[in-house]
Amino acid sequence: MPTGVALRDAREQLFEAAERVLLRDGPSGLTSRAVTTEAGCAKGVLHRHFADFDAFLAELVLDGIARIDGQSAALRRSAGTGTVAGNLTAVLTDLFGSVAVAVVGLIISRDGLRARLRQARPGPGLPLLTEAAAMLASYLAAERELGRIAADADVDTLAPTLLGASHLLFADRDGGPPQADAVHKMVTTVVAGVVRTEP
pLDDT for 126: 85
pLDDT for 98: 67
Regarding whether 119 and 29 lie in a shared domain, the answer is: no
pLDDT at 13 over 60: yes
| Residue span of the structural domain in which 27 resides | 1-49
Is 37 part of a structural domain of the chain?
A: yes
pLDDT for 99: 77
CATH no. for residue 40? 1.10.10.60
pLDDT for 57: 94
Mean pLDDT of 108-136: 89
Is 146 part of a structural domain of the chain?
A: yes
pLDDT, the chain, mean: 88
DSSP string, 30-89: --HHHHHHHHTS-HHHHHHHSSSHHHHHHHHHHHHHHHHHHHHHHHHHTTTSS-HHHHHH
Is 198 part of a structural domain of the chain?
A: no
How far apart CA 66 and CA 60 sit, in angstroms, is 10
> Taking a C-beta distance cutoff of 8 angstroms, is the pair 70, 60 a contact?
no
User: Which tens digit of pLDDT belongs to each residue from 22-61?
Assistant: 988 888 899 999 999 999 998 889 989 899 999 999 999 9
> Taking a C-beta distance cutoff of 8 angstroms, is the pair 190, 165 a contact?
yes
Query: pTM value?
Result: 0.85
Mean pLDDT of 109-133: 88
Number of domains in the chain: 2
Mean pLDDT of 128-133: 91
User: Which tens digit of pLDDT belongs to each residue from 132-159?
Assistant: 999 999 999 999 999 999 999 999 999 9
> Taking a C-beta distance cutoff of 8 angstroms, is the pair 84, 190 a contact?
no
CATH no. for residue 85? 1.10.357.10
Regarding whether 87 and 125 lie in a shared domain, the answer is: yes
Is 199 part of a structural domain of the chain?
A: no
Regarding whether 129 and 82 lie in a shared domain, the answer is: yes
More confident residue, 192 or 115: 192
User: Which tens digit of pLDDT belongs to each residue from 151-188?
Assistant: 999 999 999 999 999 988 888 766 677 888 999 999 99
